[in-house]
Amino acid sequence: MPASIWLNLIPAFLIGGLLCVGAQLLMDLTKPQFTPAHVLIVFVVAGAIAGALGWYEPLAKFAGAGATVPLTGFGYIMGKGAVEGAQSGIMGVLAGGIGAGAIGITAAILFSYICAVSFKPKG
């Protein structure tokens, strides 16, 4: 494997880390403290808006997994999907968001259900 393809690990680490710092600040500086669910919602909504405006695309190109693995990436995919769907009218808008996020949603439901059923909780 050529060494040059590993250069993209640096922006992935930095941007992914920075997004998580943003989430940490949101948790530590809010009163009453934001729960993980609140934090995830803020980031998904922010990602969707940034995706629809075309702002997230350059970040995803630059940072790769650093932009797509944090939950902003999930919002980005859904926002982008709905806006692209708008080209074929309101039906495209209705299908676009979940349609674009379908792979992630299905994988999450499938793996989560299998794991929750087959493992025993500790403690």
Partner 1 sequence: MTRQIKVTPQEFAEMNKKIRPKPKLLRNCFMAFVVGGAICLLAQVLINVYQYLGIGLKEAVTLGTVSMILLGSLLTGLGLYDGIVALGGAGGILPVTGFANAMVSPAMDYKKEGYVLGVGAKMFSVAGPVIISGTITAFLLGVLSLLFR
Q: How many other CB atoms are found less than 10 A from the CB of residue 83?
A: 19
Work out whether 3 is an interface residue with partner 1 (CB under 8 A): no
Is 114 an interacting residue with respect to partner 1 (CB under 8 A)? yes
Per the CB < 8 A criterion, the answer to whether 67 and 74 are in contact is no
Taking the complex as a whole, the smallest distance from the CB of residue 49 to partner 1 amounts, in Å, to 7
Which one among 24, 30, 55, 58 touches partner 1, defined by CB under 8 A?
A: 24
Are the beta carbons of 92 and 86 closer than 8 angstroms? yes
Asked if residue 23 binds partner 1 (CB under 8 A), the reply is yes
CB of 3 to partner 1, least distance (A): 11
CB contact at 8 A, 47 and 73: yes
Task: Name the CA radius of gyration of the chain, rounded.
Answer: 17
The mark string for 85-104 relative to partner 1 (x by CB under 8 A, - otherwise) is xx--xx-xxx-xxx-xx-xx
- Between residue 38 and residue 67, which ones bind partner 1 under the rule CB under 8 A? 39-41, 43-45, 48-49, 52, 63-66
Handedness of CA 110, 12, 77, 84 (dihedral sign): negative
CB of 54 to partner 1, least distance (A): 11
Minimum separation from the CB atom of position 58 to partner 1 (A): 15
Give the sign of the dihedral formed by CA 83, CA 89, CA 93, CA 99: negative
